[in-house]
């Protein structure tokens, strides 16, 4: 900390991302990236002229990408705002609507607490039930901005349409931010509800299901008036928020729908296989609708399993939060990666039992 740091800076508690290891090659199952490569059609497109036009600013409206997203989901252009990763979308939404306070589950995406702290939003954490499902009654008439990831981060557990809609319709006097980072891996997408509810902000990302984590592209879908508010925030902060290469990659990734669906299916199949194998090995696995699973084994602590796997060249994620500290979070990788993981786990458990 410098001697110039303000009190505000001293009070920040920044997000700690999962490791992005350099050097030694790991099987990387720790940050919920897609194990399958970005759409080749998307890469081919930017390899062409685009890279020779970087002397020009990107389109501040990201119009081509905005239109592509709007057409794909059957909403209007005025209902879409493209952002620099969905973390930026979350920041805009917290800035715009966090003044009345925010609430979110005690186990969820750690970034919500970080942004709330940055913008000075009052935070109310609502505990998940014993079985790690969202206690929907506790979110009714919240009288503050509701923030929910669906499927939920860290647990992977999904709320269905009925429960989502109950939460939105019981909060008509405040905003509901629904973070759909993992929705493509689940069974319900709430974008349709943005046509019915003018208090709903759906936040989405290209980072997970569309294999573009490094490109940093996210988007909001909401009622036009909400998008106008968020645009105002964006243009007061970073008018050229999405670079031209990333915007083109993202638009092309949406057009390459066949590739998208094939990779989604592979991940869902591998998730099913991984869950079954871990259960056979004695793990307790939460029912995941995302591209990761949260699992624990009574014979080994979460942290120890994480460290042993790391020694063996496999990176998973461990959280120190009380409620999930006995678990590890494993991103669904390729079948080959998951076979190595399972083999290492079996060896570690055998060694541990001696």
Ligand X SMILES: *Cc1c(COP(=O)(O)O)cnc(C)c1O
Q: How far is the CB of 110 from ligand X (least distance, A)?
A: 9
Q: Which is nearer to ligand X, 96 or 242 (CB)?
A: 242
Q: How far is the CB of 112 from ligand X (least distance, A)?
A: 9
Residues at the interface with ligand X (CB under 6 A): 32, 85-87, 109, 149, 153, 179, 181, 205, 207-208, 213, 218
Q: Which is nearer to ligand X, 211 or 270 (CB)?
A: 211
Query: How buried is 3 (Cβ within 10 angstroms: 0-12 exposed, 13-18 middle, 19+ buried)?
Result: exposed
Q: Which is nearer to ligand X, 208 or 344 (CB)?
A: 208
Q: How far is the CB of 124 from ligand X (least distance, A)?
A: 19
Q: How far is the CB of 88 from ligand X (least distance, A)?
A: 7
Q: How far is the CB of 108 from ligand X (least distance, A)?
A: 7
Q: Which is nearer to ligand X, 66 or 86 (CB)?
A: 86
Q: Which is nearer to ligand X, 91 or 348 (CB)?
A: 91
């Amino acid at each position: 900390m410098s001697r110039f740091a303000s009190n505000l800076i001293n009070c920040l508690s920044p997000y700690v991302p999962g490791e992005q290891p350099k050097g030694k090659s790991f099987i990387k199952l720790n940050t919920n990236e897609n194990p399958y490569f970005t759409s080749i059609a998307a890469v081919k497109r930017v390899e062409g002229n685009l890279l020779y036009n970087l002397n020009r600013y990107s389109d501040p409206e990201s119009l081509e990408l905005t239109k592509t997203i709007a057409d794909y989901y059957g909403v209007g252009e005025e209902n879409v705002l493209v952002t620099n990763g969905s973390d930026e979308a979350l920041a805009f939404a917290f800035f715009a609507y966090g003044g009345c306070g925010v609430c979110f589950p005690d186990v969820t995406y750690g970034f919500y607490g970080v942004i709330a702290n940055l913008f000075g939003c009052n935070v109310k954490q609502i505990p998940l039930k014993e079985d790690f499902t969202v206690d929907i009654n506790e979110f009714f008439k919240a009288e503050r901005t509701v923030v929910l990831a669906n499927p939920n981060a860290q647990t992977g557990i999904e709320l269905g349409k009925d429960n989502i809609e109950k939460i939105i319709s019981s909060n008509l006097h405040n905003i509901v931010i629904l973070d759909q980072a993992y929705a493509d891996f689940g069974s319900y997408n709430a974008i349709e509800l943005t046509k019915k509810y003018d208090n709903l902000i759906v936040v989405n990302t290209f980072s997970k299901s569309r294999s573009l984590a490094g490109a940093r592209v996210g988007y909001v879908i909401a009622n036009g008036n909400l998008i106008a508010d968020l645009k105002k925030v964006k243009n007061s902060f970073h008018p050229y928020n999405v670079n031209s290469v990333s915007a083109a990659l993202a638009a092309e990734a949406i057009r390459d729908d066949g590739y998208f669906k094939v990779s989604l299916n592979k991940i869902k199949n591998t998730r099913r296989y991984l869950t079954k194998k871990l259960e056979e090995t004695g793990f307790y696995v939460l029912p995941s609708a995302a591209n990761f699973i949260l699992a624990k084994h009574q014979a080994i602590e979460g942290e120890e399993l994480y460290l042993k796997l790391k020694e063996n060249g496999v990176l998973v994620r461990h959280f120190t939060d009380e409620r999930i500290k006995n678990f590890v979070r494993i991103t669904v990788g390729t079948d080959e990666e998951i076979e190595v993981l399972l083999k290492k786990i079996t060896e570690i458990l055998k060694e541990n039992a001696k």
